[in-house]
Amino acid sequence: AQSVAQPEDQVNVAEGNPLTVKCTYSVSGNPYLFWYVQYPNRGLQFLLKYITGDNLVKGSYGFEAEFNKSQTSFHLKKPSALVSDSALYFCAVSLLGGGYQKVTFGTGTKLQVIP
């Protein structure tokens, strides 16, 4: 069975500092990885995804994520945090392959950017 772990319930970072939100995954095959963001009182929005190719994926709002196969990780990063980045972040994994593959979401990490 596939799974996603987001080990931190909350991450606090000062505005202007770099931020990292951690995600590790387990899947029996090649992974298809996603990050979604949920702003307060709003629906989930797609940030970025990794399929194949370059391990560093760039997404919306200046976010990027690095796929590390040996560590089975897909950490979300941003060089300089903004207060407006404060939100709930979800990592998700699926199995890359033909046909329907279920997407499994992590439990989410609350990012708090402190002015």
Partner 1 sequence: GAGVSQSPSNKVTEKGKDVELRCDPISGHTALYWYRQSLGQGLEFLIYFQGNSAPDKSGLPSDRFSAERTGGSVSTLTIQRTQQEDSAVYLCASSPPGQSTDTQYFGPGTRLTVL
Positions that interact with partner 1 (CB under 8 A): 6, 32, 34, 36, 42-46, 49, 90, 94-96, 98-108
Question: Is the CB of 15 or the CB of 64 nearer to partner 1?
Answer: 64
Q: How far is the CB of 94 from partner 1 (least distance, A)?
A: 4
DSSP reduced 3-state for 32: strand
- The Cα angle at residue 105 between residues 63 and 48, in degrees rounded to 5: 25
Token pair for 59: 């997404």
Q: How far is the CB of 85 from partner 1 (least distance, A)?
A: 19
Q: How far is the CB of 36 from partner 1 (least distance, A)?
A: 8
Dist. CA 32–CA 100, nearest whole Å: 12
